[in-house]
Amino acid sequence: MRKFFFLFLLLIGVGVCVSAAPKKVPAKKPLPVWKPSPVLVKQLAETSELPFGTIRLPRGYELFDFPVPYHLPVSTTLSWAKKSSNGELGHLLLITQIPLEETGWHKLSLEESLRGYMEGFKNGFENTQRTPATQGLINGKRALRTDWNGTHRKSGLRLQGSIYIMKDATDSYLIQTMHKNNNLSEQRLATSAALTFKIQSQN
């Protein structure tokens, strides 16, 4: 009887030890590093200096005044365009700098900022669709990406492209590509250009 009693106590002790053992927290997976294609980067122009950073644009892209889909009064947007062979607007790349404090975006996570921007985006586009956001690193900065398509209200153009969002201590940065047609090579080239963007604080 005594033997069974000691065995019972031993089992209880083992149970306590097991339950008290700390649970292992699964390690966070490192974010994928988004880099421009080594092949396509050769088709990009030399580094352009911007008021808030640097970028390598696709050759043939020129500064262009394009009505921004969703413009915050205190934000700064630079846009470049490449015309199609028939002279029509074919491809666009835009970068917007948004001050965090002045817009209240300092209270928002990167995910909330993207959702808020996409809601405002609908003011400039209709019949919009977009993919769930994915995350990665652009030149060491965490960024989100979503792909989209929609009809630009002002011009009537049916466009598609990608939006990246990242931030530093003072500003958010939106990098947008827009394409009139489903030219995959041009889309990949614009994506490679977007992935060369460096915030000024990183340079």
pLDDT digits (tens, 9 = 90+) for 65-84: 876 666 677 899 999 998 77
pLDDT, tens digit (0-9, with 9 covering 90-100), for 50-61: 999 999 999 999
- The answer as to whether 122 is a domain residue is yes
At residue 22, φ and ψ (nearest 5 deg) are -65, 140
Domain presence at residue 168: yes
Instruction: Say what the pLDDT of residue 83 is.
Output: 78
Total domains, the chain? 1
The CA-atom distances, in angstroms, between 173 and each of 13, 40, 145 are 57, 23, 12
Residue 155, domain member (yes or no): yes
Summarize pLDDT for 154-194 with one digit per residue, the tens: 888 888 999 999 999 999 999 999 988 778 888 999 999 99
Residue 107 resides in a domain:
yes
Indicate whether 4 belongs to any domain.
no
Determine the Cα–Cα distance for residues 56 and 47; give it in Å rounded to an integer: 5
Evaluate whether residue 102 is within a structural domain: yes
In the predicted structure, residue 23 carries a pLDDT above the cut 70: no
CATH of residue 119's domain is 3.40.1000.10
- The answer, as to whether pTM is greater than 0.85, is no
What domain range includes position 158? Answer: 60-181
Please state whether beta strands 158-167 and 198-199 pair in parallel, antiparallel, or not at all (unpaired): unpaired
